[in-house]
Amino acid sequence: MHYEDLLLELVTALGAALFGANAFALLRRRRDRQEAAKAAVIRGRPGSPVRKQALASRGVLAEAPVTRTVTFMFVGLIVFVWGLATLLA
């Protein structure tokens, strides 16, 4: 059957998606930082309806960490190139 080709195509697509999504996150860092600053001001106001939600929500990054993003981009690029080379061989 052609299950090997299908698996190679899925791995190649996964590598491309990992690279593309992290490249997009790297490009959006400035806008994400500005939006997080605006949201922090709104949440910090007394009487804000989202203040309780802001205190309860933790672990939300204001912007993508550069080292992690570049590392994931590199891993995605390696997986994509490897899958593409295997498909074309």
Which of 64-68, 74-78, 79-83 shows the lowest per-residue confidence on average (mean pLDDT)? Answer: 64-68
* Residue in the block written with tokens 């992690």: 68
What the block records as the tokens of 58 is 């933790």
Q: Is 47 left (phi over 0), alpha (psi -120 to 50) or beta?
A: left
Instruction: For 33-73, write each residue's pLDDT tens digit.
Output: 777 666 665 555 665 555 555 555 555 666 678 899 999 99
CA atoms within 13 A on the CB side of 40: 10
Radius of gyration of the chain (CA): 19
The mean of the pLDDT values for the chain is: 80
SS3 of 58, please?
coil
Q: Fill in the DSSP letter of residue 45.
A: S
Q: What are phi and psi of 79, to 5 degrees?
A: -65, -40
Say what the pLDDT of residue 89 is.
85
* Residue in the block written with tokens 């052609």: 2
**Stated pTM of the model:** 0.69
